Amino acid sequence: MAHTDKVSYWELITNGIVKENTIFKLALSLCPSIAVTSGLKNGVLMGAAVLFVQVMVNITISLMRKFIHPKVRLPIFMLVISGWVTVTDMSMAAAVPDVYKQMGLYIQLIVAFASILARAEMFASKNKIAPSMADGIGMGIGFLFALTVISFFRELIGKGSLWGMPIVDAKPLLIMILPAGGFFAVGILMAFFNWIDIKFLKKGVSASH
């Protein structure tokens, strides 16, 4: 993965959004993609929180990478991640208390997200600060994008509204805001993005080795 000299920052960012999209391609961190995406507002805020944590963790780990002994690297990564999650958690509790009431638990759960630890281990601990930041931004935006798309469709179909405002005046498909509908939405969107990948980008086969 230490291939930053040849790869531009732009490619690092798009890699996280398209080729290695956390949810649609790597199928990591699926828990929040179902649990908090019943409304667009929750989905976007969750995505933003993860974007922030991912970037800050990548920068911190990259700064510290020369001082971390390989044998204790995982506990140290976890400490850094929980530190930044605590920062996010407290800021959100102060800034948007009503949303925090609904999804506070999931904000704290960001600590356990596979995607964040994976990027710290695979990328930030082996690369300089600037590329690590680019990678964090790409991964975070990819996650934000996925959560936004999922919650967009789930709220539109399940409640007939967007960001809490009623849009469609028809009987909503109630199942879409229930957990089962979350699985439907993630599955169908995953299939759709993979289909685009194979059909138009022709990278579907090589990206998955």
Partner 1 sequence: MAEIKKEHQLIVSVSPHIKSEETTSRIMWSVTASLLPATIMGAYFFGPRAIFTVAISIIAAVLSEYIFQKALNRKIAVSDGSAVLTGLLLGMNLPPSVPFYIPIIGSFVAIIITKQLFGGLGFNVFNPALIGRAFLLISFPKLMTIWKEPTAAFVHLDAKTTATPLGILKEEGVAKLMEVFGDKINLYTQLFVGHRAGSIGETSAIALLIGAAFLLYRGYISWHIPASFLGTAAVIAWIFGGLSGKGGALFAGDPIVHLLSGGMLLGAFFMATDYVTCPSVKKGQILFGIGCGFLTMLIRLKGGYPEGVMFAILIINCFSPLIDRGFKTRVFGAIKETKAKEIKK
> Shortest gap between Cβ of 142 and partner 1 (angstroms)?
25
Binding residue for partner 1, selected from 103, 184, 185, 193, defined by CB under 8 A: 184
Query: What are the structure tokens assigned to 209, written together?
Result: 């080795």
> What is the C-alpha separation between 148 and 24, in angstroms, rounded?
12
Query: What are the structure tokens assigned to 152, written together?
Result: 């967009």
For residue 59, the SS3 value is helix
Binding residue for partner 1, selected from 174, 196, 198, 201, defined by CB under 8 A: 174
Q: Contact between 173 and partner 1 (CB under 8 A)?
A: yes
> What is the C-alpha separation between 159 and 169, in angstroms, rounded?
10
Residue written as token pair 């790409």: 138
Q: Contact between 24 and partner 1 (CB under 8 A)?
A: no
Q: Contact between 175 and partner 1 (CB under 8 A)?
A: yes
Residue 109 CB neighbour total at 10 angstroms: 16
Residues 92-111: x where in contact with partner 1 by CB under 8 A, - otherwise, as a string: --------------------
Residues that bind partner 1 (CB under 8 A): 171, 173-176, 178, 180, 184, 191
